Amino acid sequence: MQLTVKWLSRNFNLNRQIADLKRRQENEPLANISQYEQTFSGAVGNLQEMKMINYAERNARIEELTLEQHRVCKEIRKAVSYVDDPTLWSLLTDRYIECMEWKTIADKYCFSMRHVFNLHGKALPIVYRHLPKGVKNEE
């Protein structure tokens, strides 16, 4: 079942990467364009230019990861759609599509953590049966 968890966790991992890049963007705001234009040839201009390049590269990476995240979510939704039990379906959706923490999920349904993990264990074999063929070959 580790393969199933790893496959489902791809969105969770992408979400973390995107959030980390966005936090870095907030902590290193885009250089002041007017100052950049005035000091392009000086040392400060080079620093500003580097800030702008880094900002643009991070933005491009965020866009790339976001597109990947949409693709991955679509795959996960398809596999999870085969889970008929609404509780199991909701638990998987909350965790692997909405990227909720286990504690938050347990609180949401007024379940103990142990019960959430037991339900998760029941849902994994159902999802495993519906993983794309190529994924199962990686075992």
- Whether residue 124 contacts residue 7, with contact meaning beta carbons closer than 8 Å, is answered with no
Residue numbers of the domain that contains 64: 2-136
Whether pTM > 0.85 for this model: the answer is no
Query: What tens-digit pLDDT sequence spans the chain (139 residues)?
Result: 899 999 999 999 999 999 999 998 888 766 444 444 444 445 555 777 888 888 889 899 999 999 999 999 999 999 999 999 999 999 999 999 999 999 999 999 999 999 999 999 999 999 999 998 877 666 5
The b/e string for 105-138 (b: 16+ C-beta within 10 A; e otherwise) is bbeeeebeeeebeebbeebbebbbeebeeeeeee
Q: Is the CB of residue 102 less than 8 Å from the CB of residue 116?
A: yes
Tally of structural domains, the chain: 1
